[in-house]
Structure 1
Amino acid sequence: MAQTDFNDLMWFLAVTEEGSFTRAAAKLGVVQSTLSHRIKKLEAQMGMRLLARTTRSVATTEAGERLRRALAPRVSEIEAEIAALMELRDRPAGSVRITLSHHALTGLIWPKLRPVLRDYPDIRLELSVDGGFRNIVEDGFDAGIRLGESVEQDMIAQRVGPDWRLVAVASPGYLAARGRPAHPQDLLAQECINRRLVTAGGLYAWEFEKDGKELRVRVEGRLTLNDEATMVAAALEGVGIAYVPEDMVAPHLASGALELLLDDWSPRFAGYHIYYPSRHQNLPAFKVVVNALRQ
């Protein structure tokens, strides 16, 4: 087989990342027909199809996915080494990509990283909201932010936020109509707002704890969501009982728009941590981001 052009491999990765020849061509700054020609050339050299094309999207074939998984972490390593050379510059520079949940972003991370954009004009941030767990190496992220108990064991992890808890809340109007649960098992007779787990696909079993006794309740209800902000909005409208991070409903509890339920049963969870491969820890831009988050 003729020697493969490294640019063709990079262009192939761009198509897989964007899921579209049009978007990939725009990202690379090339004409779409040129990009398509180069990918066909790469497939011809390898003697196999790498991409399955439809009128609306592009997906990897089995061979293409294997190639993507082989290339992505190696390209990430090369980019990390190049970024390390930027220590020679006066100011930290480069891109930092982080995957995290919506709750972590709005309540904790964004307020800490906003000053980084102000103080370091050569640092670029990409914050990707995702409720599931991502393989940060394979998916090209520099770091992830998850609860401490969820961090992968082979990663460096540093705490960036305090412990917090989920709480059950409902509107006064709902409680006047349906009554107030006194025990987690009482939720089985209530209208609860279920949470769909993004990664596993199942429904979240509400976790409670009191005096060392742990209890999980699979609640019932006509509404299922996977967005905590919408769950809070639904609870405010009297749709049912929601089980959400306490900081998201603190203003509504203070105003009386929502009432706290089963307070003594609400357990605390290990706070958010930033986790990343060891090779990232000495990159200047990345160090700035981590230091900002640890404040």
Structure 2
Amino acid sequence: MSENLNDLRAFLRVAEAGSFTKAAGQMGVSQSALSHTIKALEERIGIKLLNRTTRSVSTTQAGEQLLNDIAPLISDIEQKLSALNEFRDSPRGTLRINGTEHVIHSILWDRLSRFALDYPDIHLEITTDYTLTDIVKDRYDIGIRLGHTVDQDMIAVRVTPDMQMMVVASAEYVRIHGKPETPADLDNHRCLALRLPTHENLMNWELQKSGSGEQQEIVHYHPQPVMIFSHAHLLVKAATDSLGIAWVPTAMVRKDLQSGKLIPLLSEWLTSYDGYYLYYPHRRQSSPLFRLLVDALKLK
């Protein structure tokens, strides 16, 4: 029996996404067309591959076996086809990238923009979120995250220097409410916070006092915010509009600091983290598209 590779790819997408709606969106087809494709595949082979309910889709035992068998094979075929780009005058294909809003917008955008101009036949799909997305499961080609969050079995390439976090507010806010002199003073101020979707909790502020000693003082501050946001750029906008104090990446507010829209607070309490890394599975490293993007984004 000869099966259409596109039908098997459609089954793979639905099985991995656990949803016809999500898989259809990824593939750019209608949900009804995708459902018809899977139903026809099941009828041809005479085996039920998916259990369907009104809320979810899961693989049957036979479907799970097929998924495990064909996923690496289809991935290998796609990589082999992608490698043929080396024989084209202009590389082409699609790269799906997942990263945080901060690193895409504030740090890497100029490099991504230049890459898109240099290689117009390479289509970029960029998704920003703050979850620790499984790029293999969700079929992203590349992830960009802070170094300590990257899985050890991934190839990782550093794309930014260390990330520094700082406390900021507008001059107008300070004029009205005064400056906090110590982390404890934050309890008397209007704090702005970011909600992390992974565990639905608020991001705590890790304030590290500068100094040369080995035992540096670190305060883990749990803000009681007057406003909560799901994206960092709204957090910064609220701070520039004098709505409160925010703890943000220095790179994100550098222009606002230079223009005077924001001023640094608790300047002795700056915290640094390992920088951002571009990462991807080992099987992707031979792809010419990956090599082009890695060379464009890596830290020079």
CA contact (8 A) 1:73 1:138 kept: no
Query: Where does structure 2 lack aligned partners over 5 or more consecutive residues?
Result: none
Query: The residue matched to 2:247 in structure 1 has which SS?
Result: strand
Shift of 1:26: 8.0
Query: The residue matched to 1:238 in structure 2 has which SS?
Result: coil
Query: The residue matched to 1:285 in structure 2 has which SS?
Result: helix
Equivalences for residues 1-295 of structure 1 within 5 A: 6-14=5-13, 19-20=20-21, 23=24, 27-28=28-29, 35-43=34-42, 45-47=46-48, 49-53=50-54, 59-61=56-58, 63=60, 70=68, 74-210=73-209, 211=211, 212-294=216-298, 295=300
Per-residue CA shift, 1:137-186, capped at 9, x if unaligned?
Answer: 11111111111222211111111112221111112232233221111122
Return the alpha-carbon distance in structure 2 between the equivalents of residues 22 and 10 of structure 1: 11
Return the alpha-carbon distance in structure 2 between the equivalents of residues 178 and 142 of structure 1: 47
Return the alpha-carbon distance in structure 2 between the equivalents of residues 147 and 161 of structure 1: 9
Shift of 1:289: 0.6
User: Structure 1 stretch 5-14 or stretch 168-177: which is displaced more?
Assistant: 5-14
Per-residue CA shift, 1:90-135, capped at 9, x if unaligned?
Answer: 4333222111111111122221122222222332212111211111
Query: Where does structure 1 lack aligned partners over 5 or more consecutive residues?
Result: none
- Residues 1:67 and 1:185: Cα distance change in structure 2 (over 3 Å): farther
Query: The residue matched to 1:165 in structure 2 has which SS?
Result: strand
Shift of 1:24: 5.4
CA contact (8 A) 1:73 1:140 kept: no
Return the alpha-carbon distance in structure 1 between the equivalents of residues 32 and 226 of structure 2: 49
Per-residue CA shift, 1:248-271, capped at 9, x if unaligned?
Answer: 222222232222111111111222
Query: Which letter does structure 1 place at the counterpart of 2:51?
Result: L
Return the alpha-carbon distance in structure 2 between the equivalents of residues 171 and 243 of structure 1: 13
- Residues 1:236 and 1:40: Cα distance change in structure 2 (over 3 Å): same
CA contact (8 A) 1:164 1:271 kept: yes
Alpha-carbon RMSD: 3.0
Return the alpha-carbon distance in structure 1 between the equivalents of residues 25 and 271 of structure 2: 45
Return the alpha-carbon distance in structure 2 between the equivalents of residues 66 and 234 of structure 1: 48
Q: TM-score, normalised by structure 2?
A: 0.83
CA contact (8 A) 1:8 1:39 kept: yes
User: Structure 1 stretch 248-257 or stretch 141-150: which is displaced more?
Assistant: 248-257
- Residues 1:193 and 1:34: Cα distance change in structure 2 (over 3 Å): closer
Query: The residue matched to 2:108 in structure 1 has which SS?
Result: helix
CA contact (8 A) 2:116 2:122 kept: yes
- Residues 1:22 and 1:97: Cα distance change in structure 2 (over 3 Å): closer
Shift of 1:216: 0.7
Return the alpha-carbon distance in structure 1 between the equivalents of residues 72 and 197 of structure 2: 24
Q: TM-score, normalised by structure 1?
A: 0.85
- Residues 1:66 and 1:195: Cα distance change in structure 2 (over 3 Å): farther
Return the alpha-carbon distance in structure 1 between the equivalents of residues 26 and 167 of structure 2: 48
CA contact (8 A) 1:168 1:261 kept: yes
- Residues 1:145 and 1:26: Cα distance change in structure 2 (over 3 Å): closer
- Residues 1:112 and 1:63: Cα distance change in structure 2 (over 3 Å): same
